[in-house]
Amino acid sequence: MNRVRLIIFNAALGPLDYRVPEGMDVGPGSVVIAPLGPRQIVGIVWDEGRLPGDTVPDARLRPILGVLPVPPLKPELRRLIEWTADYYCASLASVARMVLSSGGALKGPATMTEYRLSGGMPERMTPKRELAIAALEGEQATMRELADISGVSEGVLRGLVNQGVLEPVVVDCDRPYEKARADFDQPDLSAEQGEVAGRLVQAMRDGGFAPFLLDGVTGSGKTETYFEAIAEALRNNRQTLVLLPEIALTEAFLRRFENRFGAAPIVWHSSLKSTERRRAWRAIASGEAQVVVGARSALFLPYARLGLIVVDEAHEISFKQDDGVRYNARDVAVMRARFEKIPAILASATPALESLQMAESGIYERLVLPSRFGGASLPHIETVNLTEEPPEKGRWLAPRLARELFARLERKEQSLLFLNRRGYAPLTLCRHCGYRFQCPNCSAWLVEHRLSHRLACHHCGHETATPDRCPECGEPDCLVACGPGVERIADEVAEIMPEARVAVATSDTLNSPEKAAAFVAMAEAGEIDVIVGTQLVTKGFHFPELTLVGVVDADLGLEGGDLRAAERTYQQVAQVAGRAGRGAKPGEVLIQTRHPDAAVIAALAAGDRDAFYAAETEARRHAGAPPFGRWGAIIVSSEDEPEAREAANRIGAIRPNLPDVQILGPAPAPMALLRGRYRYRLLLNARRSAELQNVIRDWLGALSFPQGVRVSVDIDPYSF
Ligand code: ADP
Ligand code: ZN
């Protein structure tokens, strides 16, 4: 008799053994349905036969009920799941669940029904029906999605279907995508681009795992060169995955891709409609999908014929997932390439120190594009010392920066002001009693958003309307905004240059692909004079008329105890500086700072990347920080403060005593309250040689905690 071990998508349960009924075709990677108590669950067959230590007699095993009609997970993907679970100290089930998270795609048939307004009206109008009809103008989606969009129950919507107001549309999730063509519009590469592209294509032809660090200044044509590797994949009918850090970047990328290959790639991200998701999933699993562009979750899809992985802007912190399975998509991407035996390309103008170190030690092959394409020069960078040239009272732009903005406006060139803070002001307080608006769920101030008249928490999404009097002392007109956000900077620009056309570009204002596309089109058409934006506008965009970049507060990111603060500041400022002077006209960058002598600021002003990396390398070596040592964190949280503290103390009390791992804490985490949960943290700093994961597993393995306590492990954490 045949027995198998299943991974089931319930993280609280380990793998379970089942019996395979006679004649059922089941093997490793098969996705099956099995009984669990009175329920039926979906699981993945992980092992076959009797495993060591397995004592349950065959007769006691329950039978598998059926096999789902999806291709079995390939061994490469199963290895990736195992590696990810092992490396990030997560359960196999939680990783497997990410892989099959699009359950609808798995189980569902090839067609789905969506609904849209037919133009007809119901016999009897009710307030809810009226609401639904108004909200669903121009929408077409499944019943459940329409209910979400309109805020009206599915019952009400079904009523509208019966009345013929909503009409069904059958969507075929197997209809083919337009084909991309390797030779649609091939560019003439520069000599140095040609060399890099040639090396990438060669690696594709050689086959096998080949990790590359594509290290090229902004505007050097990194995208253009890795497109040649994609072209090679297309010629060989192999699939490519391109990971991008930001959904707002996708639009610009899609257009470029289409210009080069004659068809759009397949997009994968969390806000796809379920029909789009199912169609994409099926095409990916069947091998039909040629190129997939996605956020980090695209990494775990069951590609049938993956031939290449590209991680663009590979240094970006958004590749790090900070809840659930806390993985870094950049690193998992390289592992996936390894298991699939294919090339991986990490592209960046400002690689993470870890990536450079991998190149240095010969594990990654470094390919360099040292100059901008077409002879465009790198921008001229200067610092504005805010202690010597302060802005006027109540303003944030120093006179020199204001003058340069004027000059651009007169010359009809574009400017970009960068401040990594959404909203109007990061703190609002009462002038009368000193009351400060704080999030009830988080240790964070509420950020004023003047455009939407809200006070919002940037951690949990809590929002309230901005009141007109202090909730504490009741005084009217007493609230003061402290510090700047992008909206406030935009106001200031409008004040000093009333004729300028100013656009705020943040995840608030560009929160859909359509809005992002409209913004890009306006900026390209020269309909915006000054862009005021957050990190969202630091990368990917190519606006030829943009000749001035002002960094409003370069010191912002250096505050706080973040391990990678200096690196991140360097990356952000270098990236945003890279937006200036990409066309024929030279670019200029002004960096406002109170610390022009800080190593990172001085290196930025001197345009000396090597100097920055050298200083940062020394600092990291000294601190035993990555890549010279390793970090890990154990985060204990509960809605009940004493319960969280108690659990953290229990963990702390049995800490292992090891020569190569230093353990700090427990202490309240930097965000001591987050989304209503109190958080404590233990930090581990290990030598490279230490088996950090095993230490953590052994340590936590024996403990169990009350229901409300969550213990999560963060390997290679980003934020402290
Ligand atoms: P990076 O990804 O390094 O920032 P891009 O690939 O975005 O650089 O290139 C910058 C700009 O130069 C883009 O507008 C791109 O279309 C253009 N460009 C780069 N290389 C070429 C080329 N060989 N032929 C034509 N245009 C190019
Ligand atoms: Zn909050």
Could you give the ipTM of this predicted complex?
A: 0.97
| 434 and 323 part of one domain | no
**Statement to judge: residues 475 and 504 lie in one domain:** no
**What number is the average pLDDT over the span 81-98?**
91
- Whether residue 102 is predicted with pLDDT greater than 60 in this model: the reply is no
pLDDT of residue 479: 92
Q: Which candidate, 574, 572, 529, places its Cα nearest to that of 547?
A: 529
Does residue 560 surpass a pLDDT of 70?
no
User: Mean pLDDT over all residues of the chain?
Assistant: 91
Which-ligand-closest: CA of 228? 1
For residue 77, tell me if it sits in a domain: yes
The response to whether residue 538 sits with its C-beta less than 6 Å from ligand 1 reads: no
d(CA 393, CA 438): 26
State whether 241 and 390 are in the same domain: no
Q: Does a structural domain hold residue 105? A: no
Q: What is the pLDDT of residues 576-626, one digit of tens each?
A: 998 888 888 889 999 999 999 999 999 999 989 999 999 999 999 998 889
Cβ 223 under 6 angstroms from ligand 1? yes
- pLDDT tens, 250-304? 878 898 999 999 999 999 988 888 899 999 998 998 999 999 999 888 999 999 9
pLDDT-derived band of residue 11, with 50, 70 and 90 as boundaries?
Answer: low
Residue 107 has pLDDT above 70, yes or no: no
**Residue-number span of the structural domain to which 653 is assigned:** 629-715
Same domain, 267 and 360: yes
* Residue 542 beta carbon below 6 angstroms from any ligand 1 atom: yes
Residue having the nearest C-alpha atom to atom 19 of ligand 1: 221
- The yes-or-no verdict on residue 105 having pLDDT over 60 is no
665 lines ligand 1 (CB under 6 A): no
473 shares a domain with 441: yes
Of 226, 238, 315, 300, the C-alpha closest to 568 is 315
Are 413 and 445 in a shared domain?
no
**250 Cβ below 6 A of ligand 1:** no
What pLDDT is stored for residue 238 in this prediction?
Answer: 98
Q: Structure tokens of 46?
A: 């992980």
Contacts of 146 (CB under 8 A, 6+ apart): 115, 132, 136, 139, 157, 166
| Cβ(43) – ligand 1 distance below 6 Å | no
CB burial readout 36-75, b (16+ within 10 A) else e:
eeeeebbbbbbeeeeeeeeeeeeeebeebeebbebebbbe
Question: How sure is the predictor about 335, in pLDDT bands with cuts at 50, 70 and 90?
Answer: very high
Final residue of a structural domain among 122, 145, 172 = 172
The domain spanning residue 166 has which CATH number? 1.10.10
User: Which stretch of DSSP H or E encloses residue 19?
Assistant: strand 16-20
- 178 in a structural domain: no
- The pLDDT of 504-529, averaged and rounded, is 88
Q: What is residue 564's predicted lDDT score, i.e. its pLDDT? A: 83
pLDDT tens-digit map of 162-184? 999 999 999 999 999 999 999 99
Is 473 assigned to a binding site? yes
Q: Are residues 82 and 228 in the same domain?
A: no
- Between strands 16-20 and 2-8, the pairing is antiparallel
CA angle 573, 311, 286 (to 5 degrees): 155
| Residue-level pLDDT at 557 | 82
Sheet holding 661-674, edge to edge: 661-674, 677-687, 629-638, 710-715
- Say if 309 falls within a structural domain: yes
pLDDT at 12 over 90: no
| Domain C-terminal end among 467, 482, 497 | 482
Q: How confident is the model at residue 720 (pLDDT cuts 50, 70, 90)?
A: low
Together in a domain, 657 and 603: no
Report the separation in Å between the CA atom of 19 and the middle of ligand 1, taken as the mean of its atom positions: 57
664 is a domain residue? yes
- Among 32-41, 44-53, 699-708, the least confident range: 44-53
Helix residue ranges, H only, 90-150? 92-99, 103-107, 127-135, 143-150
Beta-strand ranges (E) seen in 325-446 are: 343-348, 365-369, 380-385, 414-418, 427-430
Where does a domain end: 482, 499, 518?
482
Contact 80, 335 (CB under 8 A): yes
| Same domain as 282, residue 154 | no
| 468 part of a folded domain | yes
Q: Does 390 share its domain with 454?
A: no
Q: What tens digit of pLDDT does each residue of 422-458 get?
A: 999 999 999 999 999 999 999 999 999 998 899 999 9
Residue 330 has pLDDT above 90, yes or no: yes
Ligand nearest the Cα of residue 457 is 2
Is 184 contained in some domain? no
**Position 70 confidence tier, pLDDT thresholds 50, 70, 90:** confident
Name the domain count of the chain.
6
Looking at the DSSP bridge assignments, the partners of residue 678 are: 638, 673
User: pLDDT tens digits, residue range 635-690?
Assistant: 999 999 999 999 999 999 999 999 999 999 899 998 899 999 999 999 999 998 88
80 and 131 share a domain? no
> Among candidates 259, 270, 121, 237, which has minimal Cα distance to 186?
259
Domain at 15, CATH number: 3.40.1440.60
pLDDT 10s digits, 365-396? 999 999 888 877 888 999 999 999 999 999 99
What's the CATH number where 514 sits?
A: 3.40.50.300
58 found inside a domain: yes
Q: How far is the CA of 675 from the centre of ligand 2 (A)?
A: 6
Do 232 and 292 belong together in one domain? yes
Q: Band of the pLDDT at 248, cuts 50, 70, 90?
A: low
Is the distance from CB of 339 to CB of 76 less than 8 angstroms?
yes
